[in-house]
Amino acid sequence: MGACSLVVASAVAVPAAGAEGTPGGRCTGHVLPHVPGAARQQADCLDELTTAGTVASGHTDPADFAGLTPEDLPTPSGVPGIQIDGYFPDTSTTNTNHGWNHDAQFVIRLPDRWNGGLVVSGTPANREQYANDRAISDWVLSRGYAFAATDKGNTGPTFYRVGRGPGDAIAEWNTRVTQLTRAAGSVVTQRYHRPPARTLATGMSNGGYLVRWQLENHPELYDGGVDWEGTLWRSDGPNPLTFLPPALRAYPAYAAGGAGAQDAWKAMRKAGYPAGSEFLWPYHHEVYWDLTQRIYREEVDPDFDGATEAGTPYCAPGTPGCDADYDYATRPPAVHRAVGRIALTGRIGKPLITLHGTLDALLPISKDSDVYARMVHRAGRGALLRYYRIEDGTHVDSLVDAYPDKLRPLVPCHRSAFEALERWLTGKARPPADHTVQRPADADPATLLTSCPLD
């Protein structure tokens, strides 16, 4: 989640629309696109737009995508083009990339060899705009897509400080993705002299939530989307604030063993944490559950702990204002209205493929994507959805490196889903019906890193 200052090498300030690129380098003779509405923008013509080149050239920040993919994930290369970095007007300053100390930062990448498409993404967790570079940007660029990503307008573990009231910070995420989609479409049109033939939304975790929200609220901007374990927000639950507190209460007793361990295990299972994921619980207790509960609860319910900001880390149940005792169902109506501002409905307006790991120990599948799929069907939009439960997938692919015999990465499944969406939209083939994608019994970890057939 942390921010890291980044100095961009050989930055060229983008002149007004129609102005020529500066002499020297690969921008010579280019008409540099103008990003509508941007308060600041700079362009570079690069020999390599993927992380095979941008890490060394300073056109990405590896801290943004650290820990999101398996270490041995292949990196494509050979994608020259233009990268535009910049930001839209904003008043918050959590993002320190480029030394700008300015939020609403974006990156747009325009490959020289363009396939006619545009992919737009918001970041997972509270990360900055380069968070999807390894998992998504590298691969779609190698296929010829233009790519655009936003920091969602606020970043870091104190993102909840942004805005005037509860829910404002998360609501801004949706606004910023919409803003970038419109601006990136204009940039693509300027660069290639025709609008994108298809615009696709995709993202993981909070980025997957953004895909769902965009297809529900702005389907006119997209042709379809791939939702990679998106976060589910519902005003009447389930949502993260309904299943994280039970984990904070029960896990310490489970970990301690003894007479209460079995009852604690049952409480974890009742809260949604899947059987077979127990080996992941210590890591999630240490890294995810406590922090996630406190900062998202602060975003929608800051009054729960009074003047204390984002609770008390790892407090014991019974401690005043302890998030382990948080009971979303009994909180005042104003809290539920705050969640309602960012809630999903299932009323998608364009084709969506959702995938979610069965061993997700941060957003349990039974309390998230299983529920969202039912919401889509109840809303009468089931024909627009394909939902694939990925056996032995978990929330963060880097954990596959620690448990290669127990987990499978989701990144190749995301790519298979993306290709299935392409075929769906072009009328070549309808994706397989909803089902659980089984892990092959004799699966080689190296094969699982590059292959995930959905049928």
pLDDT digits (tens, 9 = 90+) for 38-50: 999 999 999 999 9
Give the pLDDT mean for 261-278. 98
Q: What is the distance in angstroms between the CA of the first residue and the CA of the last residue of the chain?
A: 35
Pairing of strands 224-228, 198-204: parallel
Return the structure tokens found at 304.
Answer: 């729960």
Task: Give pLDDT tens digits for 106-145.
Answer: 999 999 999 999 999 999 999 999 999 999 999 999 999 9
The HSE-up count of residue 161 (CA atoms within 13 Å, CB side) is 12
For the chain, domain boundaries: 40-196, 240-341, 344-454
Distance, CA of 332 to CA of 339 (rounded, Å): 12
Mean pLDDT for the chain overall: 93
How open is the CA angle 75-76-78, to the nearest 5 degrees? 140
| Helix 168-192, helix 206-217: angle, nearest 10 | 70
* Residue from 44, 36, 32 nearest 6 by CA: 44
pTM of the model: 0.94
**DSSP codes, 156-175:** STTGGGSSSSTTHHHHHHHH
Higher-confidence residue: 94 or 8?
94
Distance, CA of 98 to CA of 84 (rounded, Å): 13
Pairing of strands 224-228, 352-357: parallel
Give the pLDDT mean for 352-381. 98
The confidence score (pLDDT) of residue 28 equals 56
Task: Give pLDDT tens digits for 426-435.
Answer: 999 999 999 9
Asked if pLDDT for residue 394 goes beyond 70, the answer is yes
* Residue from 453, 442, 439, 275 nearest 365 by CA: 275
| Helix 240-256, helix 261-271: angle, nearest 10 | 160
Is residue 216 within 8 A of residue 344, CB to CB? The reply is yes
Return the structure tokens found at 447.
Answer: 């094969």
Is residue 239 within 8 A of residue 233, CB to CB? The reply is yes
pLDDT band at residue 23, thresholds of 50, 70 and 90?
A: very low
